[in-house]
Homo-oligomer: A and B are copies of this chain.
Amino acid sequence: MTTLSSAQHTLTGAMYIGARRVVGQRAAIHAINPATAETLQPAYGGGDSADVDHACQLASQAFASYRRTGLAQRAAFLEQIAEQILALGDELIVRAMAETGLPRARLEGERGRTVGQLRLFAEVVRAGDWLDARIDPALPERTPLPRPDLRQRQVPLGPVAVFGASNFPLAFSVAGGDTASALAAGAPVVVKAHSAHPGTAELVAHGIRQAVRLCDLHEGVFSMLYGSGQEVGTALVAHPAIKAVGFTGSRAGGTALMRVAANRKEPIPVYAEMSSINPVFLLPAALQQRADSLAQGFAGSLLMGAGQFCTNPGLVVAIEGDGLQRFIDGAQQALASSSPATMLTPGICRAYSEGVSTLAAQPQVDTLARGLEATGPNQCQAALFSTTAEAFLAEPDVLGMEVFGSSSLLIKCRDEAEMLRIAEHLEGQLTATLQLQQGADTALLSALLDILELKAGRILANGYPTGVEVCHAMVHGGPFPATSDSRTTSVGSAAIKRFLRPVCYQDIPDTALPEALQQANPLALRRMVNGGY
């Protein structure tokens, strides 16, 4: 444990621009307790483009030393951040509960995930495989021309801008996966805090700042700003010192940042995780044999956390028949008795209600079930709709639109061919789920896999897409509009690759080479030599 006690911290409403606390001069942001509609103190003054510039300048200065930190030192920093987040104690959980309406158990779990993620990246940094060291030794005798000595390693792109998500105030926010993987890569981070949980953000930023100080790093390694997406967000992505962007949020927000990044004098990569309806395919044998438990499992996944997950199952695809009718009966029953749940923000709740109304108003859409009616503010009343494959294929943009919350659309297909056609017409997805019986429906399964591996980042069987493991094989990504860059993942150890680029060193004297490439291999890395290991 560390110097920071678990004593109560006083929230100040100030940003972190390196070591400096600065109260923004733009319109103040207040968190709202969505469960009570109560406005929370303190006020968080919004930053402006001058604040952005200061933070980015500091990040740029910090980059010179931070990118050269040793593997052990950088790993220790990530672990120190984890310690400092734990040291914030219950205050972090209490504030996050107030700002998000999420229950204690969920937030404690999310804190564990956040801390675990930082520690995983510490391990990844220490192991050094991410440096992808490659050596093609000189061939002085080769004819007609000798080959020089060529060595490659990865270096960080430069300072990274991170935009936290509303729905994971810890694991996808200030010290979430984007920040952890960028810091692991050797990139300073400038966070734009999500306006829905500024107090949670301030506490976590305090923890990171303490870790920066304790590890004796340049103050510019981490800054955090409040403010509008329009002003602060745009200025951040447009700033010449920023070399990559991590974002989790809406399709409109993500594509706006993509445009800013593409129109810079020097375009930069944007890793935006945006929009996904996460289709669930109920294969015939599974539906036949366990329609009831499928209905229960599906309803549980849909209702969890008011459906406020990027991987919420927003689409169910099945073939008409007895089995499907039993599934519908079970799902209707489960949803009709489901209690309303507090959503993250008034804006999200409003968008949910509008999305549900839009779907309900479509002529080809039937409402199969609604949850219990709500009394308090910002409540999500679950919804299950159905339509035909034909109707969906005629209006994929309207019916395939993401409704963020516990809403799902069941597509009834006449046969396997229609089910495959639905799969083919889907946009890019984070996940696709297959409910199947081992050994049954093998031809359909094979055909679906062929289509879905081109549509989704992750394909799962006999589970539900909510729940994203932080590990080495995870892909939390997928073709547009699920993300802006299907070549990457924002969860798991491979997320570090997003902030790296290769550099080749040709005939550079051994003593001047980075340690990763020196002949004696002082970092004891696994290195590719002549294409092999």
Question: Please, which residues of chain B bring their CB within 8 A of the CB of A453?
Answer: 155, 503
Are B503 and A475 closer than 8 Å at their CB atoms? yes
Question: Please, which residues of chain B bring their CB within 8 A of the CB of A462?
Answer: 507
Question: Please, which residues of chain B bring their CB within 8 A of the CB of A124?
Answer: 531
Are B506 and A471 closer than 8 Å at their CB atoms? no
Are A469 and B503 closer than 8 Å at their CB atoms? no
Contact pick for A507, options B148, B460, B502, CB 8 Å: B460
Interface size, chain A (Cβ < 8 Å)? 80
- Is there a chain B Cβ closer than 8 Å to A530's Cβ? yes
Question: Please, which residues of chain B bring their CB within 8 A of the CB of A475?
Answer: 152, 502-504
Are A456 and B503 closer than 8 Å at their CB atoms? yes
Are B500 and A487 closer than 8 Å at their CB atoms? yes
Q: Mark A468-504, 1 if CB is under 8 A from B, else 0.
A: 0101111101011100111111000110000011111
Question: Measured between alpha carbons, how far is A204 from B187 in the docked complex, in Å?
Answer: 44
Are A463 and B507 closer than 8 Å at their CB atoms? yes
Are B461 and A509 closer than 8 Å at their CB atoms? yes
Question: Measured between alpha carbons, how far is A338 from B489 in the docked complex, in Å?
Answer: 53
Are B262 and A460 closer than 8 Å at their CB atoms? no
Nearest residue, chain B, Cβ from A154: B487
Q: How many copies of this protein are present in the complex? A: 2
- Is there a chain B Cβ closer than 8 Å to A374's Cβ? no
State which residues 87-132 of A face B: CB under 8 Å. Answer: 109, 123-124, 127
Question: Measured between alpha carbons, how far is A127 from B530 in the docked complex, in Å?
Answer: 13
Question: Please, which residues of chain B bring their CB within 8 A of the CB of A218?
Answer: none
Q: Mark A178-194, 1 if CB is under 8 A from B, else 0.
A: 00000000000000000
Contact pick for A489, options B127, B458, B481, B502, CB 8 Å: B502
Question: Measured between alpha carbons, how far is A438 from B152 in the docked complex, in Å?
Answer: 21
- Is there a chain B Cβ closer than 8 Å to A157's Cβ? yes
Q: Mark A423-439, 1 if CB is under 8 A from B, else 0.
A: 00000100000101010
